[in-house]
Amino acid sequence: MQQTMNDFPLLLKVEHVADIIGCSKRVAYELMELTDFPLLRMGRLKRVQREAFFSWLESQANKPAQDIVNV
């Protein structure tokens, strides 16, 4: 079943990021460490605001292939 952006919580966990982009949790953690990723750190927790993540994801789709980091 396909989900829409609004089906996800306001703050996404690494599991959500991995599910959305179809990768492992390890790769999702690596993406979350990119300098332009809209990461929220709360102590040891890593979260991303839903709207910020989908905006970031859209911006990645508009980048030339050589600018996207291979993880």
Task: Return the DSSP state at 46.
Answer: E
Residue 42 domain-assigned (yes or no): yes
pLDDT tens-digit readout, 13-53:
999 999 999 999 999 999 999 999 999 999 999 999 999 99
- Amino acid identity for residue 56 in this structure: W
24: phi then psi, degrees, rounded to nearest 5: -80, 165
pLDDT of residue 68: 52
Residue 15 domain-assigned (yes or no): yes
Domain count of the fold of the chain: 1
Residue 23 domain-assigned (yes or no): yes
Residue 70 domain-assigned (yes or no): no
Give per-residue burial for 28-44: e unless 16+ CB within 10 Å, then b: beebbeeeebebeeeee
pLDDT of residue 62: 82
pLDDT of residue 65: 63
What CATH number should be reported for the domain holding residue 11? Answer: 1.10.10
What is the pLDDT confidence band of residue 67, given thresholds at 50, 70 and 90?
low
Residue range(s) defining the domain that contains residue 39: 6-62
Residue 21 domain-assigned (yes or no): yes
pLDDT of residue 1: 57
Residue 68 domain-assigned (yes or no): no
Residue 57 domain-assigned (yes or no): yes
